[in-house]
Structure 1
Amino acid sequence: MNPVRWGVLGAAKFAREHMAPAIHAAEGAELAALATSDPSKAAGFVAFCPGLKVHASYEALLQDPGIDAVYIPLPNHMHVEWTLKALAAGKHVLTEKPIAMRAREIDQIIAARDRTGLLAAEAYMIVHHPQWQRAKAWLEAGEIGTLMHVDAAFSFNLTEGGNIRNRPETGGGSLRDIGVYTFGSARFVTSAEPVDLSARIHREGGVDVFAQVAGIMEGPGGRFTYGSMTSMRMYNRQVVTFQGTNGMIRLEGGPFNANVNDLAEVELHQNGNRVTVERFATANHYKLQVETFGRTVREGTAYPCPLEFVRGTQVMMDRVYEVAVEI
C-alpha cells in the first residue's frame, strides 16, 4: 500500500525538532514537502530529509497534487483558517493543538471533515502513547476501585518575551498551550466531563501565565473531584494522579513530553503496598500518532482522538475562561 505523502505548513521549531522527524520515521508515511518563504529555515528539515520539496508559500503546498496530508504547526490563531483551507484543497490534515480558540470554531471543521470525507484531527499526541492507554485500561478494569479524585500539574518557565506563547494576538497563554493536556488527559482516561468548574488565573502581558482549576467531573464510574494547575512561570513539573478507593495511578516525570524531560512510566499503587511500574523507554508518541493517522487514511480504521473529543476539551477550556477569577 502506498505511503501517505505529507507536507508541513511552516518551518516551526517544534515541527523541525519533533513532528517532521516523526513523519520521516513513521511506517506508512513519507515526508515529501515543506512550505516556507525563508529558504534558511528549510535547511534544518533538508538536513535529515534531503529529498524534501520546498514550496515558497502555504498555498503552493496545498496545490501540490503529490501531497496527501498536511501537518499544521502554525500559531494558534491561524489553525482554523489553514485547517479549512487544507480540507478545501483535498488534503487530510493534522493540526497542532489547540486546533481552535473556541469550541464553536471546531463545528465548522467537523462540518468540512464530514463534507469532504477527509480526516481532520488535532495533534493530541499523548492518547497514542502506551503509558496513557495503560492508565486508561487500569482504571476501566477497576484496579484502583472507585475513582474519587484526579489532579494534574504542568508547568515550565518561559521568559522569552517574543515567544508566541507570551503573545495574546497569537493565542498565547498557559491554558491554551498546556491546559489541553491537564484537561484532555483526565477526560481521555476517565471518559468523564466536567459538571462544575471554578478557576483562578494570573495574567502577564495579556496572557494567563498561571491557572488553577477545580471542579467536579462525571463519567461512567460516577462523580469525582478534579484539580489542575498550569503555569509558564514555574520550574518544570508534569504529574497526573488518579486516586481511587483502593489504589492510585500516577504518571510523573514526563507524561506529556514522554522521554524528553524524563522516562515515560506509569505507576499503579494498590492496597498492601503493592506497586506496579511500567516503563516505555522507546515509545515515540509523535511517530505513533503519524502511524495511526496513516492507518485511518489508508484503511479507514477509527481514529482514537476524533474532533468530537477535541471539542469537549475546548468546551471545558471555554468554561474555565468564563468562570475564572483574576488573581
Structure 2
Amino acid sequence: MRNHVNWGVLGAAKFAKEHMAPAIHAARRGRLAGLATSSADKAAPFAAMTPDLTVYDSYDAMLADPAIDAVYVPLPNHLHVEWALKAMDAGKHVLVEKPLTLRADQFDEVIAKRDATGLIAAEAFMIVHHPQWHKARELYQSGAIGKLRRVSAAFSYDNRQDTGNIRNRPDTGGGSLPDIGVYVFGSTRFVTGEEPTRILSTEIEYENGVDVWAHVTAEFPSFHYSGVTSMRMTPWQDMTFHGDKGLMRLTAPFNANVYDIAQVELHLPNAERQFYRFPMASHYVNQVEAFNASVLDGADYPCPLEFVRGTQTMIDMVMDFEKAK
C-alpha cells in the first residue's frame, strides 16, 4: 500500500477547479493524480496545480486505471448515485459532492455497495470537518446555552442570471433545498444530535420547476427549527442556537473564511460574550485528510453515509409535506 492516496477527479467542474482539487493537492497524504475530461482547455488549470497530472478522455478510462485509488465526483446531482456505484465497482474509494442522492432511500444501494466492497464512500458534507462546528457542538453539549428552545437558520445567494446553472434546472436535481438545504438541516442535526419529528410549515417559491426560496419550520424532540434557503436573495448565512441560558451564533457557518471569518459567538446573561475564531482552517482540506486517514489507516470516517442520509430524510419530509398541502 502506498503511503498516500492517488486521487482522480471525475469531470472538470468549476467547484472542483476552485475548491476541491486545490484541497486534494494541499491535503497531507494525498495526491491529485488524475482528471477525466475531454476538454484540454478545462484540464489546463488542474494541470497547472499538478504538472504530472494524468488527463483521461472519459470517466470510464479513469476508473479503469489501477493507479487511481479514490475518485471525487462533482457531477450534476442526478448523476451522483450512478457514478458512485461505478467507482466502487471499479475498486475505487469515492467522495461524492452533495447531495449524494435526491431521495433518502437511494442511499441504501450506495451503503450496501460500500459494505460489500469494504471501500470508503462518503458525501462531501465538508462543514462538519471545520473546527467551528466541533466547537459549536462542544459548547452545546456542555450546556453552555442551557435548554435549547429554537434554531434559526439562513443561507442565501443569487444566481438568477445564471440560467444554465445546474441548480436552476429540474433535470439535474436543482433547487435551493438540494443545494444548500443540506447545510442548514445537516448542521442543526450535527450540533444537537436530534432528528426532526415533523414538519410544521413550508412556504416554497418555484421557478422552472425548482425551488428558489424556501421557508421551513420543523419540530425536533426538544426545540423548534425555522430556516430559509434561497437562490434569489442577497448572499447571507447565519446559524443561531437559542437556549434558556445563552445563545450561540455562527456568522460564517458554511463558506468559512470566504464569506467571512469563521467564528462562534456565545452570548450569555449580563451582556457577557465569548468569541471563538478560526481564521486559518480549511474544511475542504480537513475533509480530504480525514478521507485519506480512512483509506490508509482504516480510521472511521467522521461523517458516514448514515448521517447524511438523515439530512436527505429531512429534505424528503419537507418536499412530501409541501406536496400534501
TM-score normalised according to structure 2 size? 0.97
Deviations 1:179-215 (A, max 9, x none): 0001000000000100010211100011000001001
Give the counterpart of 1:214 among 199, 212, 217: 217
1:153 counterpart SS class: strand
For 1:177-216, list aligned pairs within 5 A. Answer: 177-197=179-199, 198-216=201-219
Question: Where does residue 178 of structure 2 map in the other structure?
Answer: 176
Question: Where does residue 291 of structure 2 map in the other structure?
Answer: 293
Contact 1:259 1:281 in 2 (8 A): yes
1:21 counterpart SS class: helix
Structure 1 residue 68 corresponds to structure 2 residue 69: yes
Structure 1 residue 114 corresponds to structure 2 residue 111: no
Question: Where does residue 81 of structure 1 map in the other structure?
Answer: 82
Deviation (angstroms), 1:324: 1.6
1:65 counterpart SS class: coil
Question: Where does residue 42 of structure 1 map in the other structure?
Answer: 43
Segments of structure 2 that go 5 or more residues without pairing to the other structure are none
Question: Where does residue 7 of structure 2 map in the other structure?
Answer: 6
Deviations 1:284-304 (A, max 9, x none): 100000000111111111111
Deviation (angstroms), 1:48: 1.5
What residue identity is the alignment partner of 1:128? H
Contact 1:202 1:326 in 2 (8 A): no
After the TM superposition, which of the residue ranges 267-276 and 92-101 deviates more from structure 2? 267-276
Segments of structure 1 that go 5 or more residues without pairing to the other structure are none
Distance 1:270 1:324 in 2: 37
Distance 2:30 2:299 in 1: 16
Deviation (angstroms), 1:272: 2.1
For 1:20-59, list aligned pairs within 5 A. Answer: 20-59=21-60
Deviations 1:260-286 (A, max 9, x none): 111111111112211111111110100
After the TM superposition, which of the residue ranges 106-115 and 198-207 deviates more from structure 2? 198-207
Distance 2:84 2:181 in 1: 21
1:150 counterpart SS class: strand
1:193 counterpart SS class: coil
2:157 counterpart SS class: strand
Question: Where does residue 236 of structure 1 map in the other structure?
Answer: 235
What residue identity is the alignment partner of 1:212? H
* 1:120–1:105 CA distance, 2 compared to 1 (3 A): same
What residue identity is the alignment partner of 1:215? A
What residue identity is the alignment partner of 2:213? F
Deviation (angstroms), 1:325: 6.5
Contact 1:155 1:231 in 2 (8 A): yes
Question: Where does residue 19 of structure 1 map in the other structure?
Answer: 20
For 1:131-280, list aligned pairs within 5 A. Answer: 131-159=132-160, 160-197=162-199, 198-218=201-221, 223-252=222-251, 254-280=252-278
Size of the alignment, in residue pairs? 322
Distance 2:52 2:268 in 1: 52
Deviations 1:144-189 (A, max 9, x none): 1111111110000111101110000000000000000010000000
Distance 2:220 2:40 in 1: 48
Distance 2:110 2:5 in 1: 21
Identity %: 58
Distance 1:168 1:22 in 2: 30
Distance 2:236 2:169 in 1: 22
Deviation (angstroms), 1:36: 0.4
What residue identity is the alignment partner of 1:292? A
What residue identity is the alignment partner of 2:271? N
RMSD: 1.2
Question: Where does residue 310 of structure 2 map in the other structure?
Answer: 312
Distance 2:190 2:106 in 1: 21
Deviation (angstroms), 1:255: 1.1
Distance 1:66 1:89 in 2: 12
What residue identity is the alignment partner of 2:87? A
